[in-house]
A and B are shown apart, each in its own frame.
Chain A
């Protein structure tokens, strides 16, 4: 089951030659993603913070909640179209998709488990012996195989069938209203420098003018590079399925798209000041809602494995 690259999209960044996608690898990855045995006390799975129906993020939680109900310092991210991402996490702390699961697994506020223990638990579970065997022709679980399987699953979480996509492809179901058309024009004018189509992210770290939260004091990309120019820069998130991925921003400070737009028109920290009338904000929001992709949000292949 090779990845289908939608027409007109750029080449993925992920090197599939090192981890060719297979149905069995995907299935193993899916089981792992939904399995709480990966956490220290078997209460938290990846899906606890990344729910399919909300674009694989933690809806309604500004800062994500993990083990023993501990609260993290950042809002959970969406998991979508990650084959095109170069860096992961809000500050880009992770440089390869394969290595990303190590962060939540070992975080003391997320799943809090040692990798060696996780592998031991997988090797003790009958179910996983069979799953590892069918995916890798070898029933022994290792760190490498587990990580490759996680990527097999997350690489499939691709959204490219929203009303917007149908509009671009001139397909049935893709007729834009005048309001949505105007919203798209406004979007291309004011937002596309950082959130360009078709992925709605330029895959870079940018500063969008949010004032710093003094309790969290999150300096973003600076934490990793220690370069002053990177202060307050965060990974530009995709806007696909934005209707459902609230709350917004790295600390989840906004609950509504209207608040996000108010921020963009109020800040004077952007290179080009964004001016939008109240009606234009309504049009822009109408456009953003066309990025909802129900085929993706309700795709049974990505849901909780019922067996």
Chain B
């Protein structure tokens, strides 16, 4: 990944509903929550503004204190930083007192990438699929920076 460490940070927190677990994602940049039409200063001193940040969280698994693993029923969630509903992932029921670790992938793994036409958040209609060379776009960051030019810089990654 070519994003400098410390510039973007996703905090994952969770709390209990009576029946399900909810993972909430708080996207922050340089210590401040990421908002639209807001200028941020990177560690390198560049001003940046974000228009679009979307990425996949996939294969969420809960490791319990007896070393059993519980898999999320949905294989991948599309997170859109400017779409508040997508920042809260409701998963199946788990006993939070026994939860040891949450595992997840940022992006899409090679298995999903060769599985043909998928639906839901993985529908290519969501704009997170490369057309000319098969595979999902794991992370999309688009925004602007005044230097050297006020241009839109698409930053798409697949790793």
Which residues of A are in contact with B by a Cβ distance under 8 Å?
A: 15, 18-19, 93-99, 102-103, 105-107, 115-116, 119, 142-145, 147-148, 151, 224
Contact = CB atoms under 8 A, between A and B. Distances in A.
A115 B132 contact: no
Judged by DSSP, the binding face of B is loop
Contact of A99 (B117, B119, B125): B117
Nearest to A115: B125
Contact of A147 (B113, B124, B127, B135): B124
Contact of A102 (B118, B122, B124, B126): B124
Nearest to B129: A102
12 contacts: A15-B116, A19-B116, A19-B117, A93-B133, A96-B117, A99-B116, A106-B132, A115-B125, A142-B123, A143-B125, A144-B119, A147-B124
B13 interface: no
A98 B116 contact: yes
Nearest to B119: A144
Contacts of B123: 142-144
B127 A115 contact: yes
B37 interface: no
A104 to B, nearest CB: 9
Contacts of A107: 131-132
Nearest to A142: B123
A144 B117 contact: yes
B115 interface: yes
B30 to A, nearest CB: 33
B114 interface: yes
Given A19-B117, A142-B125, 15 more contacts: A94-B133, A95-B113, A95-B134, A96-B117, A96-B134, A98-B117, A102-B129, A107-B132, A115-B125, A119-B125, A143-B125, A144-B118, A144-B124, A147-B116, A147-B117
